[in-house]
Amino acid sequence: MFAQRRALGRYGDPPAVFNMTAPLPHRGRGRGPALSGLFLLFATLLFPSVAEAGTRVLAFGDSLTAGFGLLPDQAFPVRLQARLKASGTVVEMTNAGVSGDTSAGGLARLDWALAEHPDVVLVELGANDALRGIDPKQTYANLDKILARVKASGAKVLLLGMLAPPNWGRDYEKEFDAIYPALARKYDVPLYPFFLDGVATLPDLNQEDGIHPNKQGVEIIVGRVAPYVQRLLGGKGAQG
């Protein structure tokens, strides 16, 4: 895992890429019990994802969540939603990834992101902090506030961790890498230790920049993260 740090170098993310995958709710008023029943049946047949989904999942992160350099249907949240559905867990997934976001940027837009009252929030932030050499104490403080607000909202949390690149020195690595386990313990939330595990440093699984996963890399990440989400949801296919 630690050898994968070499794939992480300084970079400036491009402008925001923001994809929303949550289905739009249908609207309408029945004019009586019979019409209402017909309308619901019609909606169920045409929009099964809306009718079946009961859990709202917010994927809250940076370009790794947003799907920078990928087609919209190749982004991590979209593929994760498909993987969960294939295993019998139907959710409404919202992609709230913004390219270039640091932990401070995520904190600044968190209240807006929580306005839809998600049931589960996947927090994937901190990669840009490490790449820019931001003081780990500041990253910790920002993520601390993010987790506190999400927990206060009543949503469940999965913390998606990150590792520091090697160019800032061993002391920086040690302090940064300790952020995610410490916060997971503090808030008693599950932690996926390294979001890019199994993908970083592997050219065949990354785009030309060597940092952002390609569609094959995303599938690897999804396959590893999905069991954590299933356990959190208590859904079918969850592993112990």
- Residues marked active site are found at 63, 209, 212
With CA atoms as reference, report the closest residue to 109 among 65, 67, 162, 175: 65
Distance CA 110, CA 157 (A): 14
Residue 200 DSSP class: T
Closest CA to 117 of 174, 208, 54, 32: 54
By the 8 A CB rule, do 140 and 104 touch? no
- If we measure between CA atoms, which residue out of 69, 53, 75, 70 comes closest to residue 122? 75
d(CA 186, CA 175): 16
Residue with tokens 């309408």: 28
